[in-house]
Chain A
Amino acid sequence: MDPSTAAPPSVGASGFWQWFLQRVSGLLLIALVGVHMWMGHFSGLADVIAGSQEELVLYDIVERRLAQGLFIFVDFSLLALVLYHGLSGLRSVLLEWGPAARRGDQVSIGLLLLGVVTFAYGAKVLLVFIL
């Protein structure tokens, strides 16, 4: 196959930004996912084991957590970044596959829309706890 025939996806065509932002978002996610997993899965663990708290995750607990500005920031950032990192990674895997690479723009826009819609939906869910 002639290297020059297939049109490249126009978004992030040089590949540098995809490479760079994937790493930046990855590093940020290490911190954010760490905090999220701690808060969601471990901070109430002692209480649950002792029996003073029924379950690790309860509606009230989530609601209380999201009343604090810091965690609102953490959860929204996490949602945005994890969707970006995940879908960007999925995009680069898909674009290695010939049939997808030939429709590179469509794949990229499709994933972008998926990301935006999912973020909007996720934000709506978070607002249920906040409001």
Chain B
Amino acid sequence: MAAPLRTFLACSGLSRDRLSGSRAGWWAWLLQRVTGLGLVLYIFLHIGVISTAQLGADTFDDVLAVLQTPIFVVLDLLLATAVVYHGLNGVRVILIDLGVGVSRQAELFWACLVLTALTMATVTFFSLPLIVRG
């Protein structure tokens, strides 16, 4: 493309970035924050649960047997969804922070959601026997 044309496009509003108007970045941030706070709470819960091992192997096994009943498997899957989204969007944020893919930030957000959905669909499929057997 001729230099004067490129300069003109860069300076005028004609090459308006696809970013304009999109609220994808805001949703991505909100979800990152919500999953993050949820996961921080979960960490403490998780350490608490595993700490029942201090009460002996049988107590531990009993506690974990309850936590592997179908309702908890479903809760676990929700947890995994939060982890997967948080991690994927985290990678998106790192890319954007390094100046990579900034003009495609909305598409990257959709990609995070799609990948999260696909991953969780796969994981849920393989976990169905655990939910069903209860």
B60-116 residues with Cβ-Cβ distance < 8 A to A are 60-61, 64-65, 67-68, 76, 80, 83, 87, 90-91, 93-94, 97
Q: Judging by beta carbons under 8 Å apart, are A125 and B53 in contact? A: yes
Q: Judging by beta carbons under 8 Å apart, are A89 and B64 in contact? A: no
A14–B87 Cα distance when bound, in Å, is 25
Q: Judging by beta carbons under 8 Å apart, are A55 and B50 in contact? A: no
- Asked if B37 is at the interface of the complex by the 8 Å CB criterion, the answer is yes
By size class, the interface of chain A is 35 or more
Q: Judging by beta carbons under 8 Å apart, are A86 and B64 in contact? A: no
A64–B97 Cα distance when bound, in Å, is 41
A79 to chain B, nearest CB (A): 8
B101 to chain A, nearest CB (A): 15
Return the contact of A57 from the options B36, B51, B68 (Cβ within 8 A): B68
Interface centre among A49, A60, A79 (most CB of B within 10 A): A49
A66 to chain B, nearest CB (A): 11
- Asked if B54 is at the interface of the complex by the 8 Å CB criterion, the answer is yes
Q: Which residue of B lies closest to A125 (CB)?
A: B51
A-side interface residues toward B, CB under 8 Å? 19, 23, 26-27, 29-30, 33, 37, 41-42, 45, 48-49, 55-60, 62, 79, 82-83, 86-87, 89-90, 93, 118, 121-122, 124-125, 128-129
Given A30-B91, A57-B67, A125-B47, output 18 extra A-B contacts at Cβ < 8 Å: A19-B97, A23-B93, A26-B87, A26-B90, A33-B83, A49-B129, A56-B130, A57-B64, A58-B64, A59-B57, A62-B53, A89-B36, A93-B33, A93-B37, A121-B51, A125-B50, A125-B51, A125-B54
The 3 A-B residue pairs with the shortest CB-CB distance, nearest first, are: A59-B57, A86-B40, A49-B129
